[in-house]
Amino acid sequence: MLVCMTSSRARAEAALLAALASLVADETRAAVLLALLDGRAWTAGELARYAGVAASTASEHLGKLVAGGLLAEERQGRHRYVRLADARVAQLVEDLAAQVAPASAARPRTLRESSAGSAMARGRTCYDHLAGRLGIAVTDALTGLGLLRQDTGFALTDEGVHWFDGLGVPLVRTGRRPLARACLDWTERRPHLAGVAGAALCRHALDAGWCVRIGSERAVKVTDKGERVLAELLGIQAAALR
Amino acid sequence: MLVCMTSSRARAEAALLAALASLVADETRAAVLLALLDGRAWTAGELARYAGVAASTASEHLGKLVAGGLLAEERQGRHRYVRLADARVAQLVEDLAAQVAPASAARPRTLRESSAGSAMARGRTCYDHLAGRLGIAVTDALTGLGLLRQDTGFALTDEGVHWFDGLGVPLVRTGRRPLARACLDWTERRPHLAGVAGAALCRHALDAGWCVRIGSERAVKVTDKGERVLAELLGIQAAALR
DNA sequence: CGGACACTTCGGCGAGCACCGAAGTATGGG
DNA sequence: CCCATACTTCGGTGCTCGCCGAAGTGTCCG
């Protein structure tokens, strides 16, 4: 029998790629990954209820995702907390989700979905940074002030790095994660700020009370204080956030 | 029966995400996608032989990939040519491949694989831009000359844009594709230049005879002329390419 | 120490799907 | 015009995998 594939290296790589994709290729596991995009750790039971499957089923799925390196787990007493393994996995899930979003973003069906959808569209977290109209508004404002360049790529300027220092949020590179990275926003269909700077800004916004989480999902709401600060600091009009 | 998933919007998104991943989750389809990463169009028969499956099987796989929007097809007489649908799909496949590569890149097995692997490691195309040690050397050289910034993100400088003009390869933005983008190199495990600039440079390198393709896969070889030009233009030592 | 709770393991069921070969359709060359 | 070639369609087969409920393990609390 002739070995037709040009090299077994290529076949090995294909097998690994297929194995990785298989982890995402199940609707329940995909729902889990999307839920964990909020950057927080969920218990196995929460995820089971969220995805609408039996606890035993969810347990098996989490086992596969952990074994595949997509999730990290932490045991606390009788709870099993899981979260996305790292920023790289989050980026992968976001990229995949952005690829399919254009097809689904179009039409909200019911009123409930519509209002839930619009809360997500106004502002949400995307793993560890801000997204939705809020994320876009911040990204645009930073760009307009010359703190971020988008025309030739996606990078902070020296003034941008300095601005974060002034905010009391110095940026430190950890590992290979870039200071600034573009993340495609699936409601706005434009890139918003991710990377170390995006994460630092989001954490600061939540810590300083510029915005708060709504419910148990990814949506966030800008507070009155947040509106004031964003207008003052970045010139963002409240209307851009509605 | 209680609808447990918080919103059916979330379930719909999960279903789409799973459907997309399913396309990649088969070893044969994964092999096809990796083969097409060379940026060229292959016939259905070539891909069937490459992947080691019957023509009928390959035909079904290509049908699914086209229907899923990952491939574009062109019929010419009795041939069906397919290629990756666009740069965005290529980026997705590259990102997925980079995620699994760290596990597979470690150990070549046989001499044949080793030499094939090292040709790929020296230089190759990654959809439409240069990768491998060649791609890294070019990226580093551009950075060292102040034409590309990597410290605060990944963007050309104004001098960088000008440099491309001087090369006779003016950069024009098409759609939403960024001029510069980081693509993680799975042999070097560091980012190399992709995006409009990466594609333009690769095309120019092939057109001007700086490098040529080896065999029918993605590997490329730097010519003598290429070595001269790269040393002259970017200060790249020939040793960095070996 | 006993019961409630969170999670895991196991057996079994059913659906989906990758695969092939054979037969059918379209194209190009002699 | 006929045959070789490239691809597609179809029916059938076997395997994988997601799912559940029941039973088991470990943890917390009264």
- Residue A96: pLDDT band by 50, 70, 90 thresholds? very high
Angle between helices A158-166 and A195-207 (to 10 degrees): 20
Residues of A in contact with B98 (CB under 8 A): none
- Residue A103: pLDDT band by 50, 70, 90 thresholds? low
**pLDDT attached to residue A217:** 73
Across A4-8, A13-17, A37-41, least confident range: A4-8
DSSP state of A129: E
What residue segments make up the domains of chain B, in order of their start? Answer: 22-85, 88-105+114-241
CA of A204 to C1' of C2 (A): 47
Mean pLDDT of A160-178: 92
- Residue B10: pLDDT band by 50, 70, 90 thresholds? confident
The residue type of A156 is: L
**pLDDT attached to residue B114:** 58
Q: Within an 8 Å CB–CB cutoff, is residue B115 touching chain A?
A: no
CB within 8 A of B62, min separation 6: which ones?
A: B32, B44, B47, B71, B73, B80, B82
Residues of B in contact with A19 (CB under 8 A): 100
Minimum-distance nucleotide, CA of A80 to C1': C7
* Mean residue pLDDT across chain B: 89
Q: Within an 8 Å CB–CB cutoff, is residue B15 touching chain A?
A: yes
Tell me the percentage of chain A whose pLDDT exceeds 90.
76
Tell me the C-alpha distance between B23 and A227, whole Å.
43
Q: pLDDT tens digits, residue range A109-148? A: 455 555 656 888 899 999 999 999 999 999 999 999 999 9
CB spacing of B14 vs A28 below 8 angstroms: yes
CB within 8 A of B91, min separation 6: which ones?
A: A95, B127, B181, B183, B194
Residues of A in contact with B29 (CB under 8 A): 18
Q: Whose CA is nearest the C1' atom of nucleotide C9?
A: A56
**Residues 57-76, chain A: which have Cβ within 8 Å of B?**
none
Q: How far is CA A64 from CA A44, A71, A84, B111, B177, in A?
A: 13, 9, 13, 34, 35
The residue type of A178 is: P
**Residues 119-138, chain A: which have Cβ within 8 Å of B?**
none
Q: pLDDT tens digits, residue range B45-54? A: 999 999 999 9
**pLDDT attached to residue B217:** 73
Q: Which CATH architecture is the domain B22-85 placed in?
A: Orthogonal Bundle (1.10)
Interface test with B, best of A1, A33, A152 (most B CBs within 10 A): A152
CA of B100 to C1' of D17 (A): 22
Measure CB to CB from residue A30 to each of B21, B96, B109 and give the nearest one: B21
Q: pLDDT tens digits, residue range B82-102? A: 999 999 999 999 999 999 876
Residues of B in contact with A142 (CB under 8 A): none
On strand D, nucleotides with any atom < 7 Å from a protein CB are 5-10, 17-23, 26-28
User: From B16, which residue of chain A is nearest by alpha-carbon distance?
Assistant: A100
CATH code that applies to domain A13-85: 1.10.10.10
